[in-house]
Amino acid sequence: MINLCIYSLFLGLSLVFGGILIGRYMANILTGNKGKFLTWLTPFENLLYRLAYIDAGQEMNWKTYTWALLAFNGIGLVFLFALQLVQGILPLNPDHLKSVRWDTALNTAVSFMTNTNWQSYSGETTMSYLTQMLGLTVQNFLSAATGIAALLAVIRGFIRKNTQLLGNFWVDLTRTTLYVLLPLSIILTVLLISQGVVQTFQPAISAETLEGGRQTIAVGPAASQIAIKQIGSNGGGFFNVNSAHPFENPNLFTNFLETFAILWLPTACVFMFGYMLKNQKQGNVIFAVMLMLFLISLGAALIAENQGNPLSERAGIAHGVNMEGKEMRFGVFHSVIWAVATTATSNGSVNSMHDSFMPLAGLVCMFNMGIGEVAFGGVGVGLISMIFYIILTMFLAGLMIGRTPEFLGKKLGPFEMVMAMIALLAPIVALLIIAGIAIAVPEGLASLNNTGAHGLSEILYAASSACGNNGSAFAGLNADTRFYNILLGIGMLVGRFATILPALALAGSLAEKKLIPTTQATFPTTGALFAIMVAAVVIIMGALTFFPFYSLGPILEHLVLYR
C-alpha cells in the first residue's frame, strides 16, 4: 500500500515537473523561439518548407487553416488506406501477410488518421512491417501533430485581437513533429529497447515449447511505434494485446515509463496554454481541474476494482481479487491506473483486458471516453474539449454575475455557443445513435460474446471509444466485421472533426474580437470556484447524458453481481 502511494506520488510529481518543462519548451519552440540549442536545425526546417513550396511566413485565416488541415488528413487517409490494400505485393513483409480486407483497411485508415487508433485487426497477423512503419507509425506522428496544431490555432484565437490570422498550419505541423514528437519518441524508443521491447525486421520466430509443441513468436519494429503510440495519445498496439504483450511492455519500469508517456504531452499542452497566454495561473488551474477529474476517476475505479469479485470469491479465490484479464506482472493497481490514464487521455492502449474489469470500473472508463476525454485528454484536442466545457461554464457563470459571458477577455456570443455545442454534443449524439443502431440490428448483436447488461456495456464501450477517438477496446466484441468497421469509422470521423472544425471556427471568431480588459467585475478564472464549476459542469453533463444507458449496462450488472 505504502509502495503504491509512493509510486503514485512519484508519477504525479514527474508529470507536473515533466509537463511544465515540456509545456514551456513547446510554448517557445512552437512560436518560433528556438533558443540557442536548436538553431542549428533551422536550415533543415526551412529546407522542408522549400521542398513543399510552403511560405512559412504566410499566416492563414481559420478557413485556410481548416482546409490545409483537412487536405493533409485526407491525403493521409487515402495513402494509408491504399497502402494496406496493396501491402501483399510490397517489400518489408517477411511473414508474407496478405493485403488487408477493404473495410478493415478503411476502418484502420480512419482510425489512425483521427488519432483514435482503434484496432479491429490483430497487428501481428494483419499488418506487414512496411504498413506498420510507413503507414501506422507515420499517422501516429501526424495525427498527434494535427491535434496540437489545432490547439495552437485556438490559443492564438484567445491571444490575438482584431485579426483573422491564426498561424500557418504547415509550420505548426512541422515544428510539432520535428521538435517535439520526434525527439521525445527517439528517447523513449531507446529506453524501451533497453528494457527488452523488440525492434527488428526479422520475421516471426518459430520456437519449440517445453512440451514439444511449436509456437510462433511475433516480433517486428515495435519499440519505435510504441514510443509514439504513448507520447501522441494514439494507443494502437504493434501486437494485438497491445501493452499487455511482454514485447511491448515487459516490466514495471517500462509500465511506469509508458504510463508517464501517456499523460505527459496532454499535461504539457495545458501548461503550454498557460505559457502562451502569459498567464501561467490559467494553465495551472485548468491542470488542477483535469487532475481533479482524473483523481475522481482513478479513485472510483480503484474502489470498484478492489472490492473484489463475488464470483471469484465463491470460486475460492482469496478476497475475490479480480485478476481475470490482468497481467501477473502488473496486478490490479497498475492495470487500473493504466486503464484510467488511457481512457481519460485519448490513448486507448491497454495493459489488461477492460472487459474483465468490475462493472463500475468499466463504467469509469466508459464515462471518461463519453465526456470526450478531458482529464488531460488527447494531445491538443483534450485541452480543446476542455476549453469548450469552459466556454459552457463561463456562459452560465457570466450570466450569474450579471455580465454577458466572457473568457480570457473574449466575449462569448451566439457563434461561440454554436461551436461549443456542436463540439460537445455531436460526438455524444453520434455515440448514442451508433450504439443504439448496433444494439438494435442482428449484425450488431452477432459480434457479441456476452448477453444482457454486459453485452450492452461492450457495445456502448466500443461506440464511446470510437466517438471519443480513444481506441480503447473493451474486447469481448468482434469489431472486425463490415458492419462495425463502417459504423465505428463514422463515429471516429464525427468524434474527430466535430471537435476540431468547431475549434478552428471558434479560433477564427475569437481572433477577430477585441480583448476586454480584466476589471473588478470580471469573474476570476484562476480560482478554486472556477475549477470546481468546470469540473461540476463536465460531470453533470456526462451524467445527464449517460445515466439511463449506464443504468441498463454497468450499473445493472453491478447490482446483480452484488445482490
Partner 1 sequence: MNQTIWKWHFIREAVKESFIKLNPFALWRNPVMLIVEIGSIIATFIFIGNIVKGLPFGFEMQISLWLWLTILFANFAEAFAEKAGKARANSLRQSRSQADAKKLLNEKGDIQIVSASELRKDDVILVSEGEMIPGDGDIIEGTALVDESAITGESAPVIRESGGDRSGVTGGTKVLSGIIRLRITANPGDTFLDRMIGMVEGANRQKTPNEIALEILLIALTVLFITVVAVLPAYAHYMGIAVSVVVLVSLLVCLLPTTIGGLLPAIGIAGMDRLIQHNVIALSGRAVEAAGDVNVVLLDKTGTITLGNRMAYEFLPVHGIEKNAFVKSAVLSSLADETPEGRSIIVLAKKELQVKGKDIRAPHESHFVSFTPQSRMSGIDIDNCKIRKGALDAVEAFIAEQGGSVSDNIRKDVENIARKGDTPLVVAENSKVIGMIRLKDIVKEGISQRIAHLRNMGIRSIMITGDNPLTAASIAAEAGVDDFIAEAKPETKLEAIRKYQDEGYLVAMIGDGTNDAPALAQADVAVAMNAGTQAAREAANMVDLDSSPTKLLEIVEIGKEILITRGALTTFSVANDVSKYFAIVPALFGSVYPVLGVLNIMRLTSPRSAVLSAVVFNALIIPLLIPLALRGVRYRVKSVSALLTRNILIYGLGGLLLPFIGIKLIDLLLIFLHLV
Angle formed at CA 329 by CA 340 and CA 190, multiple of 5 degrees: 80
Task: Please list every residue from 495 through 514 that binds partner 1, using CB under 8 A.
Answer: 514
What does the alpha-carbon distance between residue 148 and residue 270 come to, in Å, rounded to a whole number? 11
The yes or no reply on residue 299 touching partner 1 (CB under 8 A) is no
Is 193 a binding residue for partner 1 by CB under 8 A? The answer is no
Contact predicate 84/105, CB 8 Å: yes
Cβ closest to partner 1, residue 271 vs residue 523: 523
Which region among 74-82, 217-225, 359-367, 398-406 touches partner 1 (by CB under 8 A)? 398-406
Q: Applying CB under 8 A, which of residues 33, 58, 404, 449 lies at the interface with partner 1?
A: 404
Query: At which residue does the C-alpha cell 466500443 appear?
Result: 462
449 in contact with partner 1 (CB under 8 A): no
Does the protein bind partner 1 through residue 551 (CB under 8 A)?
yes
DSSP conformation letters of 318-387:
GGG---TTB-TTTHHHHHHHHHHHHHHTT----SB-GGGS-HHHHHHHHHHHHTTS-SS-STTHHHHHHH
Stretch binding partner 1 (CB under 8 A), from 24-32, 90-98, 237-245, 450-458: 450-458
Between the CA atoms of 448, 452, 457 and 463, what dihedral angle is there, to the nearest 10 degrees?
Answer: 50
Nearest to 469 by CA among 368, 556, 396, 543: 368
**Count of residues interacting with partner 1 (CB under 8 A):** 64
CA distance 357 to 504: 38
Contact 364, 304 (CB under 8 A): yes
Q: Which stretch, 107-115, 282-290, 366-374, 555-563, contacts partner 1 (CB under 8 A)?
A: 555-563
**222 touches partner 1 (CB under 8 A):** no
Q: 329 or 411, CB closer to partner 1? A: 411
Please select the residue that binds partner 1; options are 41, 429, 486, 490, rule is CB under 8 A: 429
Q: Which residues pair with 217 in a beta bridge?
A: 205
Assess 304 for contact with partner 1 (CB under 8 A): no
Q: How far is the CB of 36 from partner 1 (least distance, A)?
A: 37
Q: How far is the CB of 141 from partner 1 (least distance, A)?
A: 35
Closer residue to partner 1, CB minimum distance, 403 or 482: 403
Residue from 299, 396, 443, 478 touching partner 1 (CB under 8 A): that is 396
Run of H or E including 216: strand 214-217
**Of the candidates 12, 203, 325, 413, which one interacts with partner 1 according to CB under 8 A?**
413
- Interface of this chain with partner 1, residues 355 to 394, rule: CB under 8 A: 392
Instruction: Supply the minimum distance, in Å, between the C-beta of residue 468 and partner 1.
Output: 16
Q: Which stretch binds partner 1 (CB under 8 A): 19-27, 61-69, 350-358, 517-525?
A: 517-525
Q: Is 533 in the site for partner 1 (CB under 8 A)?
A: yes
- For residue 529, state whether it binds partner 1 (rule: CB under 8 A): yes
Q: Name the region of 408 (left: φ>0; alpha: ψ -120 to 50; beta: rest).
A: left
Residue choice 124, 258, 416, 458 for contact with partner 1 (CB under 8 A) = 416
In this structure, which amino acid lies at residue 116? T
**Binding of partner 1 at residue 439 (CB under 8 A)?**
yes
User: Among candidates 387, 475, 386, 481, which has minimal Cα distance to 438?
Assistant: 481
User: In whole angstroms, what is the distance from residue 57 CA to residue 290 CA?
Assistant: 35
- Contact status: 445 vs partner 1 (CB under 8 A): yes
**Region of 90-98, 227-235, 424-432, 472-480 interacting with partner 1 (CB under 8 A):** 424-432
Contact status: 487 vs partner 1 (CB under 8 A)? no
By beta-carbon proximity to partner 1, the closer residue of 265 and 430 is 430
What is the sign, positive or negative, of the torsion defined by CA atoms of 194, 199, 205, 209? positive
CB closer to partner 1, 305 vs 557: 557
Q: Which segment (51-59, 89-97, 119-127, 434-442) binds partner 1 by CB under 8 A?
A: 434-442
Q: Is the dihedral of CA 26, 29, 34, 40 positive or negative?
A: positive
Stretch touching partner 1 by CB under 8 A, among 5-13, 20-28, 405-413, 486-494: 405-413
Contact 368, 540 (CB under 8 A): no
How many CA atoms within 13 Å lie on the side-chain side of 104? 17
Q: Nearest to residue 469, comparing CAs of 377, 387, 547? A: 377
What is the C-alpha to C-alpha distance for residues 210 and 489, in angstroms, rounded to an integer?
A: 43
Q: Which residues bind partner 1 (CB under 8 A)?
A: 392, 395-405, 409, 412-414, 416-418, 421, 424-425, 428-429, 432-433, 435-437, 439-440, 445, 452-453, 455-456, 514-517, 519-524, 527, 529, 533, 536, 540, 543-545, 547-549, 551-552, 555-556, 559-560, 563
